[in-house]
């Protein structure tokens, strides 16, 4: 057991990060599955992190309630900004949500209660491994159920052809709002979990770069199934650590890997149909 | 006790549509009776698809009334109009290509699946039963158009004619009372057309009203009970196929005027 304790004391934060990033990648997968290119998820994560951290530090709420509040707060914000913003689509939606992210970051930067640019320090370490594992499991299960229901089919229909979806009796605006706020909820919970194992949060962590990172995780892994975003987020979290020996060339190799994947596997690493076909061929070869 | 029987399923009265100064439709009026096949014909650019877009709520008329079963459709959002019982297909096919055939048809049943979020998450018996029933119904609808053996295929891999049939089945899945078909035989070969003609007749015999836009004269004349002719945004003739065929205005619109 000793080796495990050693491993855990060194790498527990990294393992936690893998879980949190998986949640974030799933949150953007949800909006993407409805055809929405939204880059607001880093901001939603930030809202969740700050709300949760402030509730823990100032009001001493129980951790479960704090996590729930960390999800609900950004979901409510998403409901409010969703009505006007979701009228946009494609890159215009990406721009608007990016701008929203900046508004959130600058607000947090200038408020007193959030600690301004210094951030919040001394957040109690409440997150444990099983919290993340359990929430990730519930999220994956819930999203898998959603996919195979009328809601998942409605999302897919909206993604493929909005007009046709409307004429199939789908209330497109409502479903877009649903995807947007559910994504915000998941990102918020991820932020709340994150705040309670990093000890410290600051506005820097929820800016433009993070918004793009979250999108990259989902796109690298592939958005055709739930496995893709989790695979992508794991790789992007672990790769910098694995490449540590390369020192200064680390981010170069990191970038090169990304470029290669986008060039040769434009639908992401995990594309359900390709992988199914591969296993079929494998079986056929043996028979 | 019962509401008075509506003899006409769809009633269009004095409908006009203009985009800025461009008058696409002017004073268009006609009635689509229940249980019949109604045709709308006219040269290219006459405004036929605009009529469909107005009925399905994708566009709002600039003037006039559109009533379905005695209720106004004007101002209703497209999904509400679908809910009232109007379904349509598109001139340039709009199936969901990345879904399989079964899923395509099941999207059409969206409105009729009444389970909620908790049902989905907990995989409740009610939710499972509804999904199972929907799947069976979708297979039945696919069998009506002869595609049930391809239910698991990706819609993108279908031939052109089969894609039209799938769009058909998907429209029927919304449980419409009136089916709007926008050029259903465009791009089909003669034998496919004959089969589709039978299928449309079958659909009418199952109790659906059918309202179609079509260019193929033989097809329209052979199938429709009544026909309206649209030219430059105005109805120039309306009646049975024989009446329309012999109408001098129609002949002129299609063949041009004889030089005096």
> Does residue B190 have a pLDDT over 70?
yes
**What single-letter DSSP state applies at residue A87?**
T
Domain locations along chain A: 11-207
Averaged pLDDT, B178-183: 92
Q: Using a CB-CB distance cutoff of 8 angstroms, which residues of chain B are in contact with residue A145? A: 120-121, 123
Averaged pLDDT, B146-166: 89
- Global pTM value: 0.89
- Per the DSSP assignment, residues forming a β-bridge with B63 are B16
Give the pLDDT confidence score for residue B88 in this predicted structure.
93
pLDDT tens per residue across span B43-101:
888 888 999 999 999 999 999 999 999 899 998 999 999 999 999 999 888 999 989 99
Of B16 and A277, which is predicted with more confidence?
A: B16
Identify from A163, A167, A174, A177 which residue to disrupt to test chain B contact, counting B C-beta atoms within 10 A and taking the largest count: A167
Dig out the tokens for B126 from the structure: 């009610």
Give the pLDDT confidence score for residue B6 in this predicted structure.
46
A24-45 b/e (C-beta count within 10 Å ≥ 16 → b): bbbbbbbbbbbbbbbbbbbbbb
Give the pLDDT confidence score for residue A44 in this predicted structure.
95
> Does residue B7 have a pLDDT over 80?
no
pLDDT band, very low/low/confident/very high, at B1 (cuts 50, 70, 90): very low
Q: How many residues does chain B have?
A: 260
Close Cβ partners of A52 (under 8 Å, ≥ 6 residues apart): A66, A67, A69, A70, A191, A192, A195, A196
Name the residue among B68, B106, B86 with its Cα closest to residue B177.
Answer: B86
- Residue B61 CA to residue B64 CA, distance in Å, equals 7
Inspect the interface and report whether the beta carbons of A153 and B108 lie closer than 8 Å.
Answer: no
The answer to whether A50 and A120 have CB atoms below 8 angstroms apart is yes
Give the pLDDT confidence score for residue A285 in this predicted structure.
60
DSSP H/E element including A15: helix A2-33
Q: Using a CB-CB distance cutoff of 8 angstroms, which residues of chain B are in contact with residue A154? A: 107, 110
> Does residue B11 have a pLDDT over 70?
yes
The answer to whether B23 and B233 have CB atoms below 8 angstroms apart is yes
Give the pLDDT confidence score for residue A160 in this predicted structure.
93
Q: Chain A residues within 8 A (CB-CB) of chain B?
A: 142, 145-146, 148-151, 153-154, 156-157, 160-161, 163-172
Name the residue among B105, B102, B107, B108 with its Cα closest to residue B153.
Answer: B102
Give the pLDDT confidence score for residue A82 in this predicted structure.
93
Residue B47: helix, strand or coil by DSSP?
A: coil
**Minimum-distance CB partner of A163 among B94, B95, B117:** B94
Q: Scanning every residue of chain A, which has its alpha carbon at the shortest distance from the alpha carbon of B111?
A: A169
Q: Using a CB-CB distance cutoff of 8 angstroms, which residues of chain A are in contact with residue B113? A: 150
pLDDT band, very low/low/confident/very high, at B2 (cuts 50, 70, 90): very low
Of B216 and A51, which is predicted with more confidence?
A: A51
Q: Which residues of chain A have pLDDT under 50?
A: 287
């Amino acid at each position: 057991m000793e080796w495990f304790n050693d491993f855990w004391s060194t790498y527990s934060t990294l393992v936690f990060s893998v879980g949190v990033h998986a949640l974030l990648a799933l949150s953007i997968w949800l909006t993407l599955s409805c055809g929405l290119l939204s880059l607001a998820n880093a901001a939603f994560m930030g809202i969740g992190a700050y709300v949760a951290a402030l509730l823990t530090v100032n009001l001493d709420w129980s951790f479960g309630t704090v996590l729930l509040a960390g999800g609900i707060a950004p979901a409510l914000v998403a409901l409010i900004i969703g009505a006007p913003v979701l009228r946009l689509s494609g890159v215009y939606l990406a721009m608007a949500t990016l701008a929203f992210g900046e508004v959130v970051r600058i607000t947090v930067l200038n408020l007193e209660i959030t600690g301004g640019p210094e951030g919040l320090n001394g957040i109690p370490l409440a997150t444990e491994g099983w919290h993340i594992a359990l929430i990730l499991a519930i999220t994956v299960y819930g999203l898998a159920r959603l996919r195979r229901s009328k809601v998942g089919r409605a999302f897919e229909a909206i993604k493929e052809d909005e007009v046709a979806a409307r004429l199939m009796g789908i209330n497109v605006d409502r479903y877009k709002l649903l995807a947007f706020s559910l994504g915000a909820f998941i990102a918020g919970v991820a932020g709340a979990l994150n705040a309670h194992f990093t000890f410290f949060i600051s506005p820097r962590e929820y800016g433009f770069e993070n918004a793009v990172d979250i999108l990259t995780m989902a796109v690298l892994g592939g958005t055709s199934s739930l496995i893709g975003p989790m695979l992508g987020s794991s790789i992007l979290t672990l790769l910098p650590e694995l490449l540590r020996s390369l020192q200064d060339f680390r981010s170069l190799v990191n970038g090169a890997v990304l470029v290669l994947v986008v060039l040769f596997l434009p639908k992401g690493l995990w594309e359900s149909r390709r992988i199914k076909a591969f296993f079929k061929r494998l079986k056929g070869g043996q028979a | 006790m019962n509401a008075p029987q509506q003899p006409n399923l769809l009633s269009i009265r004095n409908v006009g549509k203009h985009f800025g100064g461009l008058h696409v439709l002017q004073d268009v009026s006609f009635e689509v009776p229940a249980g019949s096949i109604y045709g709308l014909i006219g040269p290219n650019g006459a405004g036929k698809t605009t009529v469909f877009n107005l009925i399905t709520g994708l566009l709002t008329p600039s003037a006039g009334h559109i009533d379905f079963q005695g209720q106004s459709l004007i101002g209703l959002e497209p999904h509400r109009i679908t809910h009232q019982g109007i379904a349509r297909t598109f001139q340039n096919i709009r199936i969901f290509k990345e879904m399989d055939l079964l899923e395509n048809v099941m999207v059409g049943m969206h409105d009729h699946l009444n389970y909620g979020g908790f049902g989905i998450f907990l995989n409740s018996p009610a939710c499972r039963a509804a999904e199972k029933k929907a799947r069976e119904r979708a297979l039945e609808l696919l069998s009506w158009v002869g595609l049930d053996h391809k239910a698991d295929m990706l819609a993108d891999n279908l031939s052109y004619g089969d894609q039209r049939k799938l769009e058909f089945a998907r429209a029927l899945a919304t449980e419409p009372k009136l089916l709007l078909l926008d050029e259903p035989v465009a791009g089909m070969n003669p034998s496919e057309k004959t089969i589709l003609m039978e299928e449309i007749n079958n659909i009418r015999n199952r109790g659906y009203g059918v309202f179609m836009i079509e260019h193929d004269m033989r097809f329209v004349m052979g199938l429709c009970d009544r026909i309206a002719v649209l030219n430059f945004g105005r109805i120039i003739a309306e009646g049975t196929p024989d009446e329309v065929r012999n109408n001098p205005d129609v002949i002129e619109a299609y063949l041009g005027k004889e030089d005096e």
